[in-house]
Amino acid sequence: MVYRYRTNLKKVFLTDSELHQLNERIDKSHCQNFSVYARKVLLNPNMSFVTINTDTYDQLVFELRRIGNNINQIARAINQSRLISQEQLQELSKGVG
């Protein structure tokens, strides 16, 4: 027999539309199930769930990698040739900062 820490049960009646909205919120909150979601929302009134749009993350990571590659190429060229003037170094610093 399974021992339950929480022994009190509450029920709620919902329309189909309300149930759909609730299920979407549970999915977005990444809670394991309705019970976990309900406890978090009902017992912590200051808590809010934030939805982050991650659609652009892949493109952002791609661009950051390209920028990193360019910086590495510049650093390698400078370190290999050691033929860079103070003026050129300041120009590069402006482009990075």
User: Each residue of 17-48: pLDDT tens digit?
Assistant: 999 999 999 998 888 999 999 998 889 878 77
Confidence at residue 2, expressed as pLDDT on a 0 to 100 scale? 76
pTM to 2 decimals?
0.45
Domain assignment of residue 34, yes or no: yes
Domain assignment of residue 13, yes or no: yes
Other beta carbons within 10 angstroms of residue 37's beta carbon come to 20
Say whether pLDDT at 50 is over 90.
no
- Distance from C-alpha of 60 to C-alpha of 55, rounded to nearest angstrom: 10
- Distance from C-alpha of 37 to C-alpha of 25, rounded to nearest angstrom: 9
- Distance from C-alpha of 42 to C-alpha of 49, rounded to nearest angstrom: 13
- Are both 68 and 42 inside the same structural domain? no
Domain assignment of residue 1, yes or no: no
- Are both 80 and 46 inside the same structural domain? no
- Are both 40 and 74 inside the same structural domain? no
Domain assignment of residue 69, yes or no: yes
Q: How far is CA 19 from CA 16, 29, 33, 83, in A?
A: 5, 15, 13, 68
Say whether pLDDT at 74 is over 70.
yes
- Distance from C-alpha of 60 to C-alpha of 45, rounded to nearest angstrom: 35
Domain assignment of residue 62, yes or no: yes
Range of the domain at 84: 57-96
- Are both 46 and 14 inside the same structural domain? yes
Confidence at residue 53, expressed as pLDDT on a 0 to 100 scale? 78
Question: Torsion angle of alpha carbons 60, 68, 74, 89, nearest 10°?
Answer: 80
- Are both 43 and 68 inside the same structural domain? no
Domain assignment of residue 4, yes or no: no
Confidence at residue 4, expressed as pLDDT on a 0 to 100 scale? 79
The mean-pLDDT minimum among 29-33, 56-60, 79-83 falls in: 79-83
Give mean pLDDT, residues 77-82: 78
- Are both 47 and 61 inside the same structural domain? no
| Domains: count for the chain | 2
